[in-house]
Every structure is written in structure tokens, then in C-alpha cells.
Amino acid sequence: MAGVSLAVRPANWPLRLAWAGFALYLAYAFSHLDFTPARFITGLEFGQKFVAKLFPPDFHRWELLVKGLKESLEMAILASALGLLASLPLSLLGARNLMPAWITWPARLVMVVCRSFHPVIVAIVFVKAVGFGALAGILALTVASVGFLGKLFTEAIEEISLKQVEAVRATGAPFMSVVVFGVLPQVFARFIGFASYELDANLRNSTMVGIVGAGGIGGTLFAAFQRFDYDFVCAIILSIIAMIVVGEVLTNTVKRVFRV
Amino acid sequence: MTPAVLAEREWLRFTPAERLARFTVYFTIIAAIVVSVRTVEVIPEFIADAPEQIADLLRRMWPPDLAYYPQEIHDALIDSIHIATLGTVLGIAMALPFGFLAARNVTPFPWLNWAARLVLISTRSINTLVFALFFVAVFGPGPLAGTLAIAFHSIGFLGRLFSEALEVAATGPVEALRAAGAPWPSLIVYGYWPQVEPAFWALVLFRWDINVRESIVLGLVGAGGIGMVLDTAMNLFQWERVAMVLLAILAVVIVAEVVVTYIRKKII
């Protein structure tokens, strides 16, 4: 179709420049990787041997495996429960439509700090503070839960209709009654959805914090990796995937029950 | 029915089945918490001791070693951001094909859908740190391993959400193109792509934000970036340096979130 131009939109030079700049940045960042074809090819050979050693997975030490998975699961459940307990009052304090600015600011700051650090980083700090084991993991995952649940809860509370809150307030109800009868009924279903999402996330992370000694299957995984026990590594990874998939199915069922 | 009978009728918000389902969920949650509390291996003395130990740790961390930032932290932090960005770009490149293959309306072959979905589920379920362990074993320690780990873990997230966006795309424009005899690349470029483009960029920004956080941890298993500096400082008990690294991480993560929010407002 000669003569028909596809260029309907006018050229957007600032955007093109931005893309060119981004491409330059990528090239620069790539040069920092020490990527050489020789290294890549030897790496691929290693990778082949590695993958060959992964199979068949070795489930002989299933007792160790079950113990680790159970501990991860317990850590995820307790951390979610504690995180939920802590983030409920915190999100009420952080909601701009219920509280004055001098209260919302500190509450929001706590959430931002909790959210900024990866659970594994928080876990290292807690391992140094309270020693190895599940406790450090539970505390680390709780911090992460407070960050995310706090943020999501606050946003949900800020979107409620204030009419019901005013109605409850007009009856002369104290603050707690305003929260229980005016605010919570409006956000309850969404809270359930967020909490089950967080349980999923905690389950994923609870299998990892063990890498730094904070309990759960991650410690077993890391130890097996360092002993080049790759068929056991494969068994562990497969079980982790199975647990996460089952967890996801269960939380989806909960969401359906509560019609989130 | 007389008004009296009507007044006596009991109104229920949920059907018996719904109430039973809700009760089961509540009961399971409570039971799970109780069982966990009773069986988890936590030493009670450690809990009692925790506040004091944490206070002690914070005292050791203060004041942060500001002079350490230009020496070691800055370069490692930049490395971490490089890893996050390159990993995200590489992840997009690998996720797009799987996203298209997994979307049932774009790829009309069920076995291809399932194969693509299997890839997406497994890459999403394997943590970045596990990928990092794998790539460190294969390519040796360093940022290359970290970048690949970030990229592989991002496939599942990006691919799944992208295929979900594709599946809700309107069929009208695509059918119009097909009726005009357009070949399949044109269907994707002119039919689907314009509809999913905003969702796609939102996903990419969201994932980059997550990847910045993840890239910081990777150093703990030797995959480059700020995590390695943190690990060294911690193993040497240089708590003032640890505090400085944590502050730097906090700053980077917050800046990344602000950047993402700004770009999102610009493009969506």
C-alpha cells in the first residue's frame, strides 16, 4: 500500500531520548557484570552437570524434610497472626480520615521502615539479637507483615464511607465503638483478602529465612547446597513448591468463602 | 401473611452453607494458631531476653559509620540497582513469550497453555535466593549470578499477570483485524498490544520496585551487590557499619518507590 503512512502519532523526541538514555544505561550496567562468552560457556557446562545431579530427587531423609516444612508453616502462621494483631491498631492510627496528621505520620513511618527491608535482611538482625531458631524467623516475618498489611489496611480504611462513621459518632459512641460498628464492617472482607495474601507471602518467605539461620526448611536447603547434596536439594525445592501451591489453593478457597 | 408473622420471621445474611464455611475457616485458623504456638520450637528464655538483646544491638549500631559509605557501600549499592534493572529487563524478555503462550485467547492450543503455565508457576514458586544459589554454583559468585536469579524469578510474576491482562482484552479489535486478513504478528501488535500496554508498564514498574528489594538480599549467598557488604560487616560484628548499610538500603528503597510512583502517574 504505497503512500499510506503508518506514522499516525507525531514523533515524541523527549521519549525517544529517554529510551536512548535507558539503552545506554543498560549497556553500561551490562559492562559491570564481567560477562564473557568463555565464562558463559563453561558456566553452561557446569549447569548441565548440576542439573544432571539434581535428578532423581532423593526423598530418603523425608523426616528432616517434613520437620523443616512444618516449622516453616508454623512460622508463617504465627507471623501472620502477630502481624495482623499489630497492624490493625497501627492502620487505624495511620488512616488520614480518622486521625490527625501528627498521629498518622509516625504510624506511616513505622510501616514504611518495616516494608523497606526484605524479610531475610530483617531475619539476620533478629538472629543476631535473639539467637538462631524459629523465633528470629517469626519476628522477621512479623515485621514484614506489619509493613504490608499496615499499608493495605490503611488504604482500605481511607476509602470507607464516612457517613456510617458519623452516624455512630452522632449517637455519642466512644472511639472503640466507632471503630467496631462504623469502620470494621466496611473493611472486614477486604482485610480477610489482604490477610490471606500475606499468609501466602509469609509462607514463601518462611522457607527462605532459614538461609541465615532463622528456622524453617531454608536452613536444611542451604546446608544441603553447601554439602553438594544436590538430589536432596531437588527434593527440598519440589516440596517447597508443593507446599506453596497447596497454600495458594487454600487461601483462594478462603477468599471465595468470604467473597473477596 | 399477617404483619405479625412477617415481623417474627428471622432474617439471616448468610445461608446455612455459607455460615458453615465461614465457621470452618475461623475454626481452622484458630486451631492452626493454637497448634503452632504449642509445637513451634521457641526457647522461652529467648523471648524474655529479646527486648534487652535488641536494645543492646541498637546501642551498638549507634552512631552509624558515615565514613564507610563512600568507601564500600556506594559502589555496592549501585551494583545492586544495576542487578535489579538488568534482571527486570531480561525477565521481561523471557516473560513476554510465556505470557502470550499462557493466554488462552491468544494461543488456541491447550497443551501450549498448560506448558507455559507450568513454567510460570515453577519460576514463581522458586525463590530468588534459590535461583541465586543455583547460578552462583554455575557461573561463580558475582553480579551475573544475581542478575540471572532476578530475571528467572521475575518470569513467573510478569508472565502470569501479563497473560491475565491479555485474557481480559476485548475481542473486537482482534476480530476486526482477523477479518481484514491480518497475519498473527499484526494481531498481536495492533490487536492485543495497545489494549494491554498500560497494564504491562504498571507491572514492569511494580516488579522493578520488588526487584530492587530482592537484589539487596542476593549478596548474602554471594550473588553481588550490597548484600555482600552487609554480610561482611555483620560477620565482623562491625555494627556501626551494619547500621550505615541498613540506612543506605532504606534510602534506596524509598527513592525507588518514589520514582515508581512518579513514573506511574506520568504514563497511566
User: What is the mean pLDDT of the segment spanning A113-128?
Assistant: 87
pLDDT value at A2 more than 50? no
> What is the nearest CA distance from B99 to chain A, expressed in angstroms?
20
User: What is the mean pLDDT of the segment spanning B115-124?
Assistant: 87
Report DSSP state, residue A11.
Answer: P
Q: Would you list the DSSP string of chain B?
A: --HHHHHHSPP-SS-HHHHHHHHHHHHHHHHHHHHHHHHS---HHHHHHHHHHHHHHHHHHPSP-TTHIIIIIHHHHHHHHHHHHHHHHHHHHHHHHHHHHH-TTT---HHHHHHHHHHHHHHHHS-HHHHHHHHHHHH-SSHHHHHHHHHHHHHHHHHHHHHHHHHTS-SHHHHHHHHTT--HHHIIIIIIHHHHHHHHHHHHHHHHHHHHHHHHHHGGGT-SSHHHHHHHHHHTT-HHHHHHHHHHHHHHHHHHHHHHHHHHHHH-
Peptide bond before residue B108 is cis, with ω within 30 degrees of 0: no
Interchain CB distance below 8 Å, A77 and B57:
no
Terminal CA-CA length for chain B: 56
pLDDT value at B135 more than 50? yes
Interchain CB distance below 8 Å, B46 and A135:
yes
Write out the three cell numbers for A14.
523527549
CA closest to A112 among chain B residues: B254
pLDDT value at B193 more than 60? yes
The model's pLDDT over A45-70, given as tens digits with 9 standing for 90+, comes to 887 887 888 788 888 788 888 888 88
The model's pLDDT over B196-212, given as tens digits with 9 standing for 90+, comes to 888 888 888 889 988 99
The model's pLDDT over B148-164, given as tens digits with 9 standing for 90+, comes to 999 999 998 899 888 88
C-alpha B223: how far from chain center = 18
- The reported pLDDT for the residue numbered A80 is 92
- Stated as kind and residue range, the H or E segment containing A104 is helix A101-116
Q: Where is average pLDDT lowest: B3-17, B164-178, B221-235? A: B3-17
Interchain CB distance below 8 Å, A212 and B122:
no
pLDDT value at A211 more than 70? yes
CA angle A183, A189, A194 (to 5 degrees): 105
pLDDT value at A3 more than 70? no
> What is the nearest CA distance from B25 to chain A, expressed in angstroms?
7
- The reported pLDDT for the residue numbered A1 is 43
Are the C-beta atoms of residues A32 and B79 closer than 8 Å to each other?
yes
ipTM (interface pTM): 0.80
Q: What is the mean pLDDT of chain A?
A: 85
pLDDT level of residue A103 (50, 70, 90 thresholds): confident
Question: In terms of pLDDT, which residue wins out, B49 or B118?
Answer: B118
Cα–Cα distance for residue pair A112/A122, rounded to 1 Å: 14
User: What is the mean pLDDT of the segment spanning A209-227?
Assistant: 86
pLDDT level of residue A8 (50, 70, 90 thresholds): low
User: What is the mean pLDDT of the segment spanning B103-130?
Assistant: 85
pLDDT value at A161 more than 60? yes
Tell me how far apart the 2 most distant CA atoms of chain B are, in Å.
86
Interchain CB distance below 8 Å, B82 and A241:
no
- The reported pLDDT for the residue numbered B53 is 81
pLDDT value at A147 more than 70? yes
pLDDT value at A143 more than 90? yes
The model's pLDDT over A106-115, given as tens digits with 9 standing for 90+, comes to 998 899 888 8
Partner B contacted by A131 (CB < 8 A):
yes
pLDDT value at A13 more than 90? no
Cα–Cα distance for residue pair B240/B228, rounded to 1 Å: 16
- The reported pLDDT for the residue numbered B268 is 67
Partner B contacted by A118 (CB < 8 A):
yes
- The reported pLDDT for the residue numbered B155 is 92
Q: Which phi and psi (to 5°) does residue B129 adopt?
A: -65, -35
pLDDT value at A7 more than 60? no
- The reported pLDDT for the residue numbered A146 is 93
The model's pLDDT over A90-100, given as tens digits with 9 standing for 90+, comes to 998 888 888 88
Partner B contacted by A54 (CB < 8 A):
no
pLDDT value at B74 more than 60? yes
CA closest to A228 among chain B residues: B137
Task: Mention every residue, 6+ apart, whose C-beta is less than 8 A from residue A64.
Answer: A220
Are the C-beta atoms of residues B110 and B174 closer than 8 Å to each other?
no
Which CA distances in Å does A256 have to A126, A189, B61? 36, 11, 46
- The reported pLDDT for the residue numbered A5 is 52
pLDDT value at B62 more than 90? no
> What is the nearest CA distance from A84 to chain B, expressed in angstroms?
13
Q: Which of B253, B250, B172, B254 is nearest to B211 (CA)?
A: B253
User: What is the mean pLDDT of the segment spanning B184-192?
Assistant: 83
Interchain CB distance below 8 Å, B147 and A33:
yes
- The reported pLDDT for the residue numbered A132 is 84
Q: Where is average pLDDT lowest: A52-56, B46-50, B100-104? A: B46-50
- The reported pLDDT for the residue numbered B149 is 92
Cα–Cα distance for residue pair A257/A196, rounded to 1 Å: 12
Write out the three cell numbers for B159.
508472565
Q: Which of A133, A209, A134, A116 is nearest to B220 (CA)?
A: A209
Partner B contacted by A75 (CB < 8 A):
yes
Q: What is the mean pLDDT of chain B?
A: 85
Query: To probe the interface with B, which of A28, A33, A198, A234 has the most B CB atoms within 10 Å?
Result: A33
Q: Which domains does chain A have, with CATH numbers?
A: 63-257 (1.10.3720.10)
Q: Which of A34, A183, A16 is nearest to B146 (CA)?
A: A34
pLDDT value at B5 more than 50? yes
Q: Which fold has domain B60-267?
A: MetI-like fold (1.10.3720)
Q: Which of A232, A249, A197 is nearest to A68 (CA)?
A: A232
pLDDT value at A200 more than 50? yes
Q: Cβ contacts (< 8 Å) between A135 and chain B: which residues?
A: 42-43, 46-47, 50
Domain ranges of chain B: 13-42, 60-267
Peptide bond before residue A56 is cis, with ω within 30 degrees of 0: yes
Q: Which of B81, B120, B114 is nearest to B98 (CA)?
A: B120
Partner B contacted by A6 (CB < 8 A):
no
User: What is the mean pLDDT of the segment spanning B116-144?
Assistant: 86
Interchain CB distance below 8 Å, B249 and A117:
yes
Which CA distances in Å does B108 have to B84, B115, B172, B191? 34, 13, 17, 16
